[in-house]
Amino acid sequence: MKVLGVIGGMSWESTALYYRLLNQGVAQRLGGLHSADLRLHSVNFAPIAACQAAQDWAEATRHLTAAAVGLRQAGAQALVLATNTMHKLAETLEAGSGLPLLHIADATGAALQQAGVQRAALLGTRYTMEDPAIVRQRLAQRFGVQCLVPDDAGRALMHRVIYDELCRGQVHAASRTQVVALIEQLQQQGAQAVILGCTEITLLIDAACSPLPVFDTTALHAQAAVAWMLQGAIVAPSYGEKTP
């Protein structure tokens, strides 16, 4: 099994989901007592969020590159950045750490392409929805997926729900109703599916409440990471299993 480095903490609520999904994915594939071979650096989100708000991407890069280098030194062979927004720094982190980064947009784009989706609603932080370089350009150029985003009021709503509620572990029915209404608006504009383009949105929205098919970046990213970890893996028996 390859060793995966995870940069998390942005927020820890979604990093906890990543940890569970990565371990469940390995256990399902290998059985027994097998679990994911991970190196995790969970950053303090407050300074990163302050950098985002101030548009100080250089300082954010310093924080995350230090984490990435530490993961490489700890034995990681590739990186997962457990957040959509900070994929703004994906290329810089790869260069600074010397490790390949498993990009969240590639996992999502492959799933959308396989499903034949060409126009998708994109929900996320204001940064992710407004900055094409984070995921939108990559989805368009590599997978032919056009992203539709909410209007300014809708973007403000999503940003508030993510930072003031979901990142703090708060899930409110009233916010779910408002976000579902946003998805319905984007459906009327031609969206064929909805991308949960922030790793916390899966705490609020799922296939049961969404009027559109859901593409959850957290789950898709974790699935792609498990597939990478297990390429060519030699499976050792778990405790209590007999060696052939």
pLDDT tens-place string over residues 4-26: 999 999 999 999 999 999 999 99
**Residue 39's closest CA among 89, 97, 111?**
97
Q: Using CA atoms, how far apart are residues 129 and 133, in angstroms rounded to an integer?
A: 10
Question: What percent of the chain clears pLDDT 90, i.e. is strictly above it?
Answer: 95
Which active-site residues does the annotation give?
A: 83, 198
Instruction: Specify the CATH number for the domain of residue 49.
Output: 3.40.50.1860
Residue 243 lies in a domain: no
Residue 64 lies in a domain: yes
Which sign does the torsion angle of CA 63, 2, 105, 195 carry? negative
Question: Can you state the angle between helices 57-73 and 45-54, rounded to 10 degrees?
Answer: 140
pLDDT tens-place string over residues 45-61: 999 999 999 999 999 99
Q: Using CA atoms, how far apart are residues 83 and 200, in angstroms rounded to an integer?
A: 9
Average pLDDT over residues 138-157: 98
161 in the same domain as 173: yes
Q: Using CA atoms, how far apart are residues 148 and 129, in angstroms rounded to an integer?
A: 9
Provide the domain limits for residue 165.
105-217
Which pLDDT score, from 0 to 100, does residue 235 have?
A: 60
Residue 133 lies in a domain: yes
189 in the same domain as 91: no
202 in the same domain as 116: yes
pTM listed for this prediction: 0.93
Largest CA distance in the chain: 61
95 in the same domain as 37: yes
Which pLDDT score, from 0 to 100, does residue 138 have?
A: 97
